[in-house]
Structure 1
Amino acid sequence: MMGRVISVLFAVLTALSNGSASVLQRRAAMEVPDSEAMRLSLMTRLVRQKVWLAGIGLVIVAAVCQAIALATGPIAVVQPIFVIELPLTLLVAGLVMRVRADAAVWSGVAAVTAGLALGMAAAAPVEGRDTVEDFAWIPALLVTGVFEAGLIVAALRTRGNARAALLGLAAACGYALTAALMKDAMANLDDGGVVALLASWQLYATAAAGVGALFLLQNALQAGSLVAVQPMLTLGDALISILYGVTLFDEELRTGWWLVPELVALALIAAGCVRLARTPLARGTLAPR
């Protein structure tokens, strides 16, 4: 029970850090011309901006919190909690900027929160194994690679919010893979301590997947609006993470008629994210300096 409480607490801290990082990274990405899309020069431009570096600092904090959350709880519990990152970010931004949250913000917060609560209660995730057999990663990585490649190819054939949404979903897939690899890597701490963790291939695969997801997210934020990116990023990360949890870690979710309230929960979360991303507070927080 205590482990579940710790995992939820650090998942919330991860959501807060990640959401704040997305705001800072979006502000930085808006200052980069479209000609730099999908090029390494995009990163060289971003790294010169203090606001982007501050966002990266929050990404590091989020990674530490996420590692603790995944080490103490199932991935099907930890990752869905991240849907609250946008509501938390806007509420904190409102406090910092001394801007009162209006009815649209609060209705969006209520929709996301209610959706998360309903979804978790309906799904009732049950923890499975802490580790994954190495051979099981082979098909998982192949399917993930094909899926992400398809999204990227489709994104390059379009522009604007359509590209942003596709790249946002590709980034979500990358972050979900990062979480699954991180959870598997953290299990080595129990088996052999820090030495075993540093010797595991999953640790370095986690870093590679995280860097790739970050690159895709920067391009998504640069290509279109937060309204296009955030729902795909939020729901994509949660749903794909649950898929990894069920297929790789043998975690269990309720099915049957429970799928009805679970789908209602997804609809509430999606509607809440879109409403929040359209609010004046979100636009003010994301406006260029």
Structure 2
Amino acid sequence: MDMLMPVLFALGAAFGNALATVLQRKAALGVPRSDKLRAGLMLDLLRRPVWLAGIITMITAAVCQAVALATGPLTVVQPLFVLELPLALAIATVLLRGRLSRTGWAAAFAVVAGLAVALTAASPEGNLTHVPMDRWIPALVVCAGAIVALVLAALRRSEGRTRAACFGLATAVAYAVTAALMKASMHTLADGGLTAFLTAWQTYGFALFGAAALFLLENAMQAGPLVASQPAITLGDASVSLALGITVYSESVRTGWWLLPQLLGVALIVAGVLMLSRLPIARSLTGGDRSTGNAGVP
């Protein structure tokens, strides 16, 4: 029962992010293409209720994620966000009038089944509320260094899969650090109130890494195909969050023979995400397909 609340709120956040993605894409598809400045595009979008609904949904999802992180382990909450991609595709089949093939549904099922198997076998435990600085410093140095190295590697490459994958992995690390710092800030808010929250360095840390993640995400989407960037983002976020949960928050997962079903679950997730990223409807959600009528899968 202790895990029920964080799991439900994490699932709500994943669903909210997926719905927000589809709503914003639906709004963008309804705006005529032109050579307007970005400010003009924003004015067009602001007049569309569906785009505003997407923004509200995104904010709601962020609140759900904050509650999930405040009440549950990082190693439980963040891996659940691998469901965003299959959820977004399922929602898109309704709101964008797309169509998901049998292969697509099989891939979505593989992601869900793999996540269930991996989390059940891992059985994460622990929910440290206060982390000493001697844990934060090396974790932040390593993660920041990894982001810089990945960005430099991406910039050395021309547009294509390698560049997109590097930006995607950098985005994943930034997302994971954002979640880890957000978790600390939520505990500070619960224990010390709003004043303590606004004066905690972790609050500004997760805002900084969150902004960096959004910037890197835009670069990842523009650098190359979705099949290269999306798996890197989805799987990288879960992996780095797992590492941060164990090293920073002293969370634990089962080892020994339990590693076998965990690896099986991870293999199913990887296969499912790779298959989903190749679908035309997945590319349509990220701007790879500008037409409204060909968002589905033949």
TM-score, with structure 2 as normaliser? 0.84
Unaligned 5+ runs, structure 1? 29-41
Compare 155-164 and 175-184 and name the one that shifted more: 155-164
Quick check: 1:18–1:62 contact (8 Å CA) kept in 2? yes
Residue 260 of structure 2 corresponds to which residue in structure 1?
260
Give the Cα–Cα distance (whole angstroms) in 2 for the partners of residues 46 and 54 of structure 1.
17
Question: Which structure features the higher share of helix residues?
Answer: 1
Alignment map for 1:134-283 (pairs within 5 Å):
134-158=133-157, 159-283=159-283
Matched residue SS, 1:101: coil
* CA displacement, residues 16-58 of structure 1 (integer Å, 9 cap, x when unaligned): 2333445647997xxxxxxxxxxxxx99798677398876554
Q: Provide closer, same or farther for how the CA distance between residues 189 and 249 of structure 1 changes in structure 2, counting only shifts above 3 A.
A: same
Matched residue type, 2:120: A
State the percentage of identical aligned residues.
50
Matched residue type, 1:213: A
Quick check: 1:26–1:218 contact (8 Å CA) kept in 2? no
Residue 89 of structure 2 corresponds to which residue in structure 1?
90
Q: Provide closer, same or farther for how the CA distance between residues 17 and 43 of structure 1 changes in structure 2, counting only shifts above 3 A.
A: farther
Q: Provide closer, same or farther for how the CA distance between residues 141 and 285 of structure 1 changes in structure 2, counting only shifts above 3 A.
A: closer
Quick check: 2:26–2:96 contact (8 Å CA) kept in 1? no
Matched residue SS, 2:3: helix
TM-score, with structure 1 as normaliser? 0.87
Give the Cα–Cα distance (whole angstroms) in 1 for the partners of residues 202 and 247 of structure 2.
17
Q: Provide closer, same or farther for how the CA distance between residues 256 and 64 of structure 1 changes in structure 2, counting only shifts above 3 A.
A: same
* CA displacement, residues 173-220 of structure 1 (integer Å, 9 cap, x when unaligned): 000000000001111123212221122111111111100011000100
Q: Provide closer, same or farther for how the CA distance between residues 212 and 81 of structure 1 changes in structure 2, counting only shifts above 3 A.
A: same
Give the Cα–Cα distance (whole angstroms) in 1 for the partners of residues 150 and 44 of structure 2.
29
Residue 31 of structure 2 corresponds to which residue in structure 1?
none
Give the Cα–Cα distance (whole angstroms) in 2 for the partners of residues 195 and 6 of structure 1.
26
Report the Cα offset of residue 225 of structure 1.
1.9
Matched residue type, 1:129: L
Matched residue type, 1:5: L
Give the Cα–Cα distance (whole angstroms) in 2 for the partners of residues 46 and 17 of structure 1.
24
Matched residue type, 1:241: S
Aligned residues: 276
Residue 4 of structure 1 corresponds to which residue in structure 2?
3
Give the Cα–Cα distance (whole angstroms) in 2 for the partners of residues 150 and 26 of structure 1.
35
- Alpha-carbon RMSD across the aligned residues, in angstroms, is 2.6
Report the Cα offset of residue 15 of structure 1.
1.3
* CA displacement, residues 145-199 of structure 1 (integer Å, 9 cap, x when unaligned): 1111110111111121211111111001000000000001111123212221122
Matched residue type, 1:11: A
Matched residue type, 1:269: I
